[in-house]
């Protein structure tokens, strides 16, 4: 394949992973970095130039060696990039977009002009301006430098009017603006690929968590509703469409409590929130970036695994901390390690990252507990029920408990609650319509008499619904059975025997096991155990004869 050599301004971990993607594609990557060959990227690629990515002469030296120039950091000399373009070497994305993004205030103005949803913000030139903004936006307030703000640098939280002076002092800049505090429930991010002709393709929506303003974990996909994910994807695509040039862009967003999504900011390059794509997506962000900037097609931004979590290895000042985490990662199923080869491990420094993949969020939680119990508690607490068990009344619980018990035995996570079709119809609608978004894979519904719950839930979700007919005093549950099983064409309910909630639990396990070998194996063990139990009884019956057997053993109905 005839592909140009790619030059990258910056030789950090993003440049390193770009070079690694280049190796796979047969695309040579040359970097410009103050550390040259000793930089994270320089260590893994031939051809590193030592120098600042702000040095116009060094940038020109790099440009002469390559077919196309790109960046792994946005704080570069854009005038020099303009000169490179003028001299005939393409720069992707466009220096115009990089310049725009360097100035966070200009970025906001640009996106506001493109009707993208933003939190309120305002330029400020003095403490009086900040106080006026505080009056109108309320406190706390974010005071920000327009330039060189990243990883918590260049930002200061103003708690109240008295704090304005100290915040302005801390930022040591007069080029400031303020942002209204956004009461987000989640921070989301979407990597978007922009092709040579401006077409955009989005990666999945992920949820990011910061620790001391530095990215700590990224969960993919985000545990948000389909609606929120669609909204986030649309905003991210529209945002990147409003920029110029080819490559991947990292779009950071806020999810609000009412489901609205606001644009936060954009990075014109691969981004920490996209590292998970190396293991979790069909084509990773680094390969997508290279393909986009050299004009090759990009296909495969979907997830190739069920769920994924990226964990940054942040320096603590104690080398042993990172080493212990890496050792644990190497013994954790589904974990893969990326080490950046940086010298020193000062606190907060990104030394490497670990990506964990799993079949679904439940598996992911189990694996994360092994890798980092604190992170599991923080990021995935309460996530991961695969089965929802509902019943019309607490009088059904003595029957329905058997479903929960068998799922407990098979180590399958579930939620259990009361939802009545006739007494809480709104609750039932909400339960059914949000089931997919909440990550449920199967619903078990028990009901008696004119038993409408299983069928109504099935009418409002694409998930398989298992119906348990509860035994009734008047018609022994034949009323419940017929109400549940005789569904019209188009809306199936998987019906089990009257009162047999244990079988409903087992059926849910079989459904999950169809695509989950670990669960299928536990079911095989269950079948072996059941067989052994019957054979034991047969042996005893043959040994002692029927009279003594009946006299000494409490038989139980298994129907």
Considering only 49, 167, 222, 504, the residue that binds a copy of itself (CB under 8 A) is 504
Name the residue with tokens 């409002």: 460
With vertex at residue 545, the alpha carbon angle to CA 539 and CA 550, rounded to the nearest 5 degrees, is: 100
Considering only 433, 524, 536, 542, the residue that binds a copy of itself (CB under 8 A) is 524
Considering only 212, 282, 433, 542, the residue that binds a copy of itself (CB under 8 A) is 282
CB-nearer residue toward a copy of itself: 334 or 448: 334
CB-nearer residue toward a copy of itself: 118 or 314: 314
Quote the least distance from Cβ 24 to a copy of itself, whole Å: 5
CB-nearer residue toward a copy of itself: 111 or 340: 340
Which residues are bridge partners to 215 per DSSP?
210
440 CB-near residues (< 8 Å, 6+ apart): 385, 386, 387, 388, 415, 463
Q: Give 206's Cβ-side CA count (13 Å radius).
A: 34
Sign of CA dihedral 528, 530, 532, 534: negative
CB-based contact 234:115 (threshold 8 Å): no
Residues 300 to 319 in contact with a copy of itself, rule: CB under 8 A: 300, 302, 304-306
Query: Which runs of consecutive H residues, i.e. helices, occur in 460-557?
Result: 478-485, 501-513, 517-552
489 counts as binding a copy of itself under rule CB under 8 A: yes
Contacts with a copy of itself, 320-339, as mask; x by CB under 8 A: --xx--xx--xxxxxxxxxx
Considering only 381, 490, 547, 554, the residue that binds a copy of itself (CB under 8 A) is 490
With vertex at residue 107, the alpha carbon angle to CA 102 and CA 109, rounded to the nearest 5 degrees, is: 145
Token pair of 49 as six digits: 């130039």
Helix (H) or strand (E) holding 420: none
Contacts with a copy of itself, 442-481, as mask; x by CB under 8 A: x-------------------xxxxx--------------x
345 counts as binding a copy of itself under rule CB under 8 A: no
Residues 125 to 164 in contact with a copy of itself, rule: CB under 8 A: none
Quote the least distance from Cβ 82 to a copy of itself, whole Å: 31
530 counts as binding a copy of itself under rule CB under 8 A: yes
Considering only 85, 170, 485, 544, the residue that binds a copy of itself (CB under 8 A) is 485
Which residue from 243, 225, 26 is spatially nearest to 116, judged by alpha carbons? 243
Can you say how many angstroms the Cα of residue 308 is from the centroid of all Cα atoms in its chain?
Answer: 7
CB-based contact 27:44 (threshold 8 Å): no
Tell me the pairing of strands 6-9 and 68-71.
Answer: parallel
Considering only 43, 109, 420, 472, the residue that binds a copy of itself (CB under 8 A) is 43
Considering only 291, 350, 365, 452, the residue that binds a copy of itself (CB under 8 A) is 291
Quote the least distance from Cβ 433 to a copy of itself, whole Å: 12
Among the residue ranges 18-26, 57-65, 119-127, 418-426, the one whose residues contact a copy of itself (CB under 8 A): 18-26
């Amino acid at each position: 394949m005839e592909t140009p050599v790619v030059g990258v301004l910056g030789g950090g971990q993003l440049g390193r992973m770009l070079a690694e993607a280049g190796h796979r594609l047969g695309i040579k990557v040359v970097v410009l970095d103050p550390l040259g060959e000793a930089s994270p990227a320089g260590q893994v690629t031939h051809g590193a130039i030592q120098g600042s990515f702000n040095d116009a002469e060094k940038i020109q030296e790099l440009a002469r060696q390559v077919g196309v120039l790109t960046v792994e950091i946005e704080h570069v000399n854009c005038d020099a990039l303009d000169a490179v373009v003028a001299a005939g070497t393409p720069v992707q994305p466009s220096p115009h977009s990089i310049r725009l993004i360097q100035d966070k205030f200009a970025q906001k103005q640009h996106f506001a002009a493109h009707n993208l949803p933003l939190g309120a913000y305002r330029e400020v030139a003095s403490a009086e301006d900040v106080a006026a903004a505080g009056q109108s936006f309320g406190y706390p307030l974010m005071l920000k430098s327009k330039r060189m703000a990243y990883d918590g640098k260049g930002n200061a939280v103003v708690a109240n009017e008295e704090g304005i002076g100290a915040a302005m002092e801390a930022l040591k800049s007069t080029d400031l603006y303020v942002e209204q505090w956004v009461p987000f429930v989640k921070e989301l991010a979407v990597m978007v690929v922009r092709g040579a002709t401006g077409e955009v393709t989005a990666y999945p929506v992920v949820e990011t968590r910061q620790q001391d303003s530095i990215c700590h974990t990224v969960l993919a996909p985000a545990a948000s509703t389909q609606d929120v994910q669609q909204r986030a994807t649309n905003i991210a695509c529209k945002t990147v469409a409003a920029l110029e040039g080819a490559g991947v862009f990292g779009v950071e967003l806020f999810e609000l409590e009412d489901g609205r999504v606001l644009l936060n900011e954009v990075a014109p390059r691969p981004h920490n929130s996209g590292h998970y794509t190396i293991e979790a997506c069909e084509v990773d962000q680094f390969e997508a970036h290279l393909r986009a900037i050299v004009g090759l097609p990009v296909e495969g931004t979907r997830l190739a695994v069920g769920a994924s979590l990226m964990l940054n290895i942040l320096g603590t000042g104690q080398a042993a901390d990172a080493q212990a985490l890496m050792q644990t990662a190497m013994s954790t199923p589904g974990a893969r390690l990326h080490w950046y080869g940086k010298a020193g491990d000062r606190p907060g420094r990104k030394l490497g990252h670990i990506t964990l993949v799993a079949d679904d969020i439940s598996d992911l939680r189990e694996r994360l507990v092994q890798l980092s119990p604190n992170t599991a508690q923080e990021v995935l607490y309460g996530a991961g029920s695969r089965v929802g068990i509902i019943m019309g009344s607490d009088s059904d619980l003595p029957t329905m408990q058997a479903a929960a018990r068998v799922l407990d035995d098979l180590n399958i996570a579930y939620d259990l609650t009361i939802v009545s079709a006739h007494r809480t119809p709104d609750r039932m609608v909400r339960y059914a319509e949000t089931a997919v978004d909440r990550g449920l894979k199967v619903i078990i519904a028990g009901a008696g008499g004119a038993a409408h719950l299983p069928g109504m839930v099935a009418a409002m979700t694409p998930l398989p619904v298992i119906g348990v007919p509860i035994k009734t005093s008047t018609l022994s549950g034949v009323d419940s059975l017929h109400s549940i099983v005789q569904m019209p064409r188009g809306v199936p309910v998987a019906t089990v025997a009257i009162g047999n909630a244990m079988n409903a639990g087992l059926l849910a396990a079989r459904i999950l096991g169809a695509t989950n070998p670990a669960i299928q194996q536990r079911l095989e063990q269950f079948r072996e155990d059941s067989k052994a139990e019957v054979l034991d009884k047969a042996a005893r019956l043959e040994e002692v004869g029927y009279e003594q057997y009946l006299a000494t053993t409490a038989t139980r109905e298994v129907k």
